[in-house]
Structure 1
Amino acid sequence: MTAHQQTTVAALENQAFALMGRLHVILRRQSGRITDIEYMRADPAYCRHVLQLALQTPAEDAHRICEKLQEIYFGNEGLFVRNPPKAPLAARFGSAAAAAKISHAPGDNTTSRLPDEDVDRAYIGRLR
């Protein structure tokens, strides 16, 4: 991918993020629906679902935003057409967390826990 194409993709992603933010606010005000912008950017099926929900609202702004997002993501040179979507953040960090887990043999009393005073300072494992 050339530098110009990368710039174009970055500009489209920024425009899409801004439009999804506006759509999120409209859906929240009109129907009380809360959408996940990050997941909408990563999952084409969820993106289509949110766009369908927005088209059911009476807000004309939502309809115009849906048309723009439809073109940005699903048009001939759309982001979902051009490149496969990136994995959601939770999936990217979930695999790293699973790889970092340490398994102990049964009867092994060694642990990798912090001392109790460190746990208190780090707010790990408790509610405030």
Structure 2
Amino acid sequence: MQEREKLAIAAHLHVVMRRKTGRVTDVEWLVRNNDYAREIIKLALSEPDQSELHEWARKLRSALFVPAPDSKPSSRGEAALVPAKSKSTSRRFLDSLR
């Protein structure tokens, strides 16, 4: 997928996330930084009753992360995408501007 297509999907996610949850994201950083993208996707998918937000988060996940060919889908779906990290590492993206 081309860079501009990834940016377009990230921009859509940004708009929906801002409208539905009030959270502001950095669109360019979403495409360039995998850790930031994983945390924002995880945050978007954790919002209850937000089908449009979930749809765009899944589109971005598909655009940015290609699943390993021999990996089996997990029961939660996101476990293979998000590696286990310390709480302080994942919180830094949610509690700061960048």
**TM-score tier after normalising by the smaller chain length:** 0.5 to 0.7
Match of residue 50 from structure 1 = 40
TM-score by length of 1: 0.47
Match of residue 28 from structure 1 = 18
Report deviation, 1:73.
1.0
* Identical positions, percent: 31
Report deviation, 1:23.
0.8
Report deviation, 1:20.
1.0
Q: Which amino acid counterpart does residue 21 of structure 1 have in structure 2?
A: A
Match of residue 61 from structure 1 = 52
Match of residue 70 from structure 1 = 61
Q: Deviations over 1:23-65 (max 9, x none)?
A: 1111111111000011111110000011011112232111111
Q: Which amino acid counterpart does residue 19 of structure 1 have in structure 2?
A: I
Which protein has the bigger helix share? 1
Distance in 1, Cα, partners of 2:12 & 2:63: 15
Report deviation, 1:22.
1.1
Structure of greater relative contact order (alpha carbons < 8 Å, 6+ residues apart): 2
Count of matched residue pairs: 67
| 2:28 paired residue among 23, 32, 38 | 38
| 1:18 paired residue among 8, 12, 22 | 8
Decide which moves more: 63-72 or 29-38.
Answer: 63-72
TM-score by length of 2: 0.60
Give the RMSD, CA atoms, in angstroms.
1.7
Q: Which amino acid counterpart does residue 21 of structure 2 have in structure 1?
A: S
Q: Which amino acid counterpart does residue 68 of structure 1 have in structure 2?
A: K
> Between Structure 1 and Structure 2, whose CA radius of gyration is higher?
1
